[in-house]
């Protein structure tokens, strides 16, 4: 087995632009791949949203804000089907407008 320092020993012979590109490439390796939800998942989300609207309970919504996934917690104010937007109000008063196509997951607030 070869035991060396990997990329560390080569960075001294690289241009600073190449080192920066390697760092960006390494950071991109940690990104999640965006997947489209299936029909069953969408149906579950719709039921969960309707239930939360009726019972006024808090939800946790994870959604894509490229290239990361953002978490929003709060009460659902409105689910606008025409605009394709979910409006969420956090307990601190911050309003979130989340497009339906960007939703990654919806879960109960715990």
Q: What pTM, to 2 d.p., does this model score?
A: 0.67
Task: Return the CATH class of domain 7-110.
Answer: mainly beta
From residue 50, how far is each of 33, 34, 95 by CA, in Å? 28, 25, 19
Give ∠ CA 28-29-34 in degrees, rounded to 5: 80
**How would you classify residue 15: left for phi > 0, otherwise alpha for psi between -120 and 50, otherwise beta?**
beta
Question: What pLDDT does residue 40 have?
Answer: 92
Alpha-carbon gap, residue 6 to 18, rounded angstroms = 15
Is 54 strand, coil or helix? helix
Residue 12: is its pLDDT beyond 60? yes
Record the tokens describing residue 86, joined without a space.
Answer: 């979910």
Q: What is the pLDDT of residues 54-108, one digit of tens each?
A: 998 999 999 988 778 889 999 999 888 888 899 999 888 889 899 988 899 998 8
Residue 4: is its pLDDT beyond 70? no
**Which residue ranges make up each domain of the chain?**
7-110
């Amino acid at each position: 087995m070869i035991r060396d320092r990997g990329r560390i020993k080569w960075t001294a012979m690289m241009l600073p632009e190449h080192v920066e590109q390697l760092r960006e490439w390494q950071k991109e390796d940690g990104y999640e791949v965006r997947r489209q939800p299936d029909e069953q998942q969408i149906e579950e989300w719709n039921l969960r949203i309707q239930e939360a609207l009726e019972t006024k309970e808090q939800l946790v919504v994870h959604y894509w804000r490229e290239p990361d996934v953002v978490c929003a917690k709060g009460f659902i104010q409105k689910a606008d089907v025409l605009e394709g937007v979910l409006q969420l109000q956090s307990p601190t008063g911050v309003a979130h407008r989340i497009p339906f196509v960007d939703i990654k997951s919806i879960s109960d607030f715990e």
